[in-house]
Amino acid sequence: MTKLTRRRLLAAGAAALAGPAFAQQPGHEQHGGHYERLTQPGRIQKPELAASQNVFDSPAPRAADPGRWSAKAPLPLPRSEMAWATAHEGKMHVVGGYAEQRVDRPYHHVYEATVDRWRDAAPLPQGANHVGVTFLDGKLYAIGGFLEQNRRPHPHCFVYDPASDTWAGIAPLPAPIGSAAVVGFGGKLHVIGGAIGDTTETKTSINWHRTYDPKTDRWDNRAPMPTARDHTGTVVIGTLIHVIGGRVDSFHTNSNLHHAYDPAADTWSPRNPLPTARSGHGAVLYRGKVFVMGGEGTNRVFGQMEAYDPATDAWEQYAPMLTPRHGLGAALVGDAIHVAGGGPIMGGGVQSAVHEAFVVG
C-alpha cells in the first residue's frame, strides 16, 4: 500500500462565506493553492481562465429563500472527474477520478460532517474516472468507469462494506460503460446511460438501462432512456427515477432533457426540462426537491443552482455556488448539500480540492 493510499486525517476550520444574495458571489480566494494541473505536479492558484468561463445566471424564477453556501474542509488533494459522490450514515464517499497527474486513481476519501474532516478508506480495486457510485442497503457500489481520459471504459464492478472497510468484486457489466448514472431502487441497482468508445473519435453516448440484483449477482435489461446521454444528474424521487440534463456525445452538445422512469411500469415520461443545459453536474435530493449545481459546457463552467419541485413540475433558482466546478462529487450529508472537488475550468486540465456546503433556512 503506497503513501498515496493512506493519508493522515485532514481537518480544516471553515468560515462561512457569502450571504443569500443572487448576485455573483466571491470565490474561495483563501483556497489559493488548492488546485493542481493534470500535466504538471505542484499546487497552483485558481486559474485566471476560470473567471471568464464562470456562469452564475439562471433563467429560472428566484426562490423566496435562496439559501447560502459556506466553505468546508478541503479534500486531502485536488481531484476531479470522480463523477458524483454518494453518502451513507452522515458520511460522503468520493471514489476514483483524476488526481496527481493520473486519470485512473483508486482514491476513496470519506467526509464526516460532524467533525468537518476527511479520512482515507480502502482504495477502489480498479482505479478509473467517471465511476458510477451509489449506496444500496448499506453497501457502496462502484460501477464501470474510464481507464483513460474520459474514454476506454471497463466493465468491472465492486461492492464496499463500510463496517469492514473492504471491497469485493461482483458480476461485471454486460459491456464496458463509463460516466453512467447509478441509483438504488427496490433492492436493485439501476445503471442508466453513459458512454462507450476507446478513442475520442469513437466515443458516443448510449441509452442503455440495466439493473443489477445483489441477491442473484445478475444483470438484466430494462426500458432504455428515450435519448442517449451521459454525465447526467440522476436521483430517486418517491417511486420514480429522474434523469436530468447531461451530454449527447460531448459537452458541446449538452442537453436540458429531463425524464422520469417508473420501475413498476418499465416506462419513461418527460418532465419539465432543466433551465440550464449542462453536463458533469451534481444532482441531490434535498428537502423534497432536486438541487442541480455545477457542470460544464463550451467555454463555460456553471455555478448556478437550480432546483426542481416534483409536486409542481417547476424549477427555481437558488444561491449559486461560490466556486463553479464540473466533474465534482455532490451528496446530501445530514441537512446540507456538500460539493467536493471538480474542475474549475472546461475540460480535465485542472483539479480542485475545494469543498463547499449549501443549506436553506
User: Who's near 178: CB < 8 A, 6+ residues apart?
Assistant: 128, 129, 130, 144, 145, 146, 150, 151, 153, 154, 194, 195, 196, 230
Stretch 131-155: mean pLDDT: 98
Say what the alpha-carbon torsion angle 174, 192, 130, 248 is, to the nearest 10 degrees. Answer: 110
Bridge-based pairing state of the strands 132-136 and 267-270: unpaired
pLDDT band at 14 (very low <50, low <70, confident <90, very high): very low
Phi, psi for 279 (deg, rounded to 5): -145, 160
- Does the pLDDT of residue 180 top 50, yes or no? yes
Stretch 211-238: mean pLDDT: 98
Q: How far is CA 45 from the centre of its chain?
A: 23
Please state, in angstroms and rounded to a whole number, the distance separating the CA atoms of residues 119 and 329. 15
- From first CA to last CA, the distance across the chain in angstroms is 44
Stretch 226-237: mean pLDDT: 98
Residue 1's pLDDT is what? 43
Residue 32's pLDDT is what? 61
**279: burial class by Cβ within 10 Å (0-12, 13-18, 19+)?**
buried
Contact 15, 64 (CB under 8 A): no
pTM of the full structure? 0.92
Give the chain's largest Cα–Cα span. Answer: 52
Task: Tell me what percent of the residues of the chain surpass a pLDDT of 70.
Answer: 91
Phi, psi for 355 (deg, rounded to 5): -140, 120
Residue 349's pLDDT is what? 97
| Helix, strand, or coil (residue 52) | helix
Comparing 12-21, 24-33, 180-189, 284-293, the range with the smallest average pLDDT is: 12-21
User: Who's near 175: CB < 8 A, 6+ residues apart?
Assistant: 155, 196, 208
| Helix, strand, or coil (residue 49) | helix
- Does the pLDDT of residue 20 top 50, yes or no? no
Can you identify the CATH homologous superfamily of domain 51-359? Kelch-type beta propeller (2.120.10.80)
Segment (H or E) for 107: none
- Does the pLDDT of residue 8 top 50, yes or no? no
- List strands edge to edge, sheet with 296-297: 54-55, 300-302, 296-297
Grid cell for residue 287: 428537502
